[in-house]
């Protein structure tokens, strides 16, 4: 500590005890400790201010480098809202153009369509019976339907008792 050996520190303590006295020494050491704490606080505050100035100067240098390097780059062009707005305006212009074309075609009903619809000479339609797989057998009447197994069983008379 400060280049003082332990034997030298012990000699300083004995001299201080003899010169100042045992009653005054604790108060003096307390006062000396407070001064040391204040000096350390001031040193750390000074160091903090110096560090802040260094950071500010580094930030200024970085800012100068960025402004010097971006002479050809406009940061306003990188705004995404402007890009989105331009795409929306393009889409709106295309939509308005298509609407105008549709309106002109609707307002002029005598105009020939671009291509006439193609109609087949004979449509190939399947017969309904084949499509639905209907057989030619007649549907039996309700009286002609044979009874089921359960209906055909005779009822057993059960005697209670």
Dihedral angle computed from the Cα positions of residues 63, 65, 71 and 76, in that order, rounded to the nearest 10 degrees? -30
Burial class, 25, CB count within 10 angstroms (exposed 0-12 / middle 13-18 / buried 19+): middle
Between 16 and 37, the higher pLDDT residue: 37
Between 75 and 134, the higher pLDDT residue: 75
**How does 91-116 read in b/e, with b if 16+ C-beta sit within 10 Å?**
eeeeeeeeeeeeeeeeeeeeeeeeee
Between 76 and 14, the higher pLDDT residue: 14
According to the model, what pLDDT value does residue 43 have?
Answer: 95
Contact by Cβ (8 Å): 25, 17: yes
Q: Check whether 152 has a pLDDT greater than 60.
A: no
Q: Check whether 34 has a pLDDT greater than 80.
A: yes
Tally Cβ neighbours within 10 Å of residue 20: 14
According to the model, what pLDDT value does residue 47 have?
Answer: 94
Q: Check whether 132 has a pLDDT greater than 60.
A: no
Rg of the chain over CA atoms, in angstroms?
A: 54
According to the model, what pLDDT value does residue 33 have?
Answer: 93
Q: Check whether 99 has a pLDDT greater than 60.
A: yes
Contact by Cβ (8 Å): 45, 53: no
Tally Cβ neighbours within 10 Å of residue 16: 14
């Amino acid at each position: 500590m400060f280049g003082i050996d332990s034997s030298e520190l012990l000699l300083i303590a004995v001299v201080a005890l003899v010169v100042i006295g045992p009653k005054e020494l604790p108060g003096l050491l307390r006062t000396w400790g407070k001064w040391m704490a204040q000096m350390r606080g001031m040193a750390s505050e000074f160091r903090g201010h110096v560090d802040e100035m260094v950071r500010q100067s580094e930030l200024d240098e970085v800012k100068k480098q960025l402004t010097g390097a971006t002479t050809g780059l406009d940061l306003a062009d990188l705004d995404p809202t402007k890009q989105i707005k331009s795409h929306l305006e393009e889409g709106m212009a295309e939509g308005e153009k298509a609407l105008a074309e549709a309106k002109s075609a609707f307002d002029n009903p005598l105009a020939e369509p671009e291509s006439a619809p193609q109609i087949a000479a004979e449509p190939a339609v399947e017969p309904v019976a084949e499509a639905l797989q209907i057989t030619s057998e007649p549907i039996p009447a309700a009286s002609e339907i044979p009874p089921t197994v359960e209906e055909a069983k005779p009822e057993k008379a059960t005697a209670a008792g």
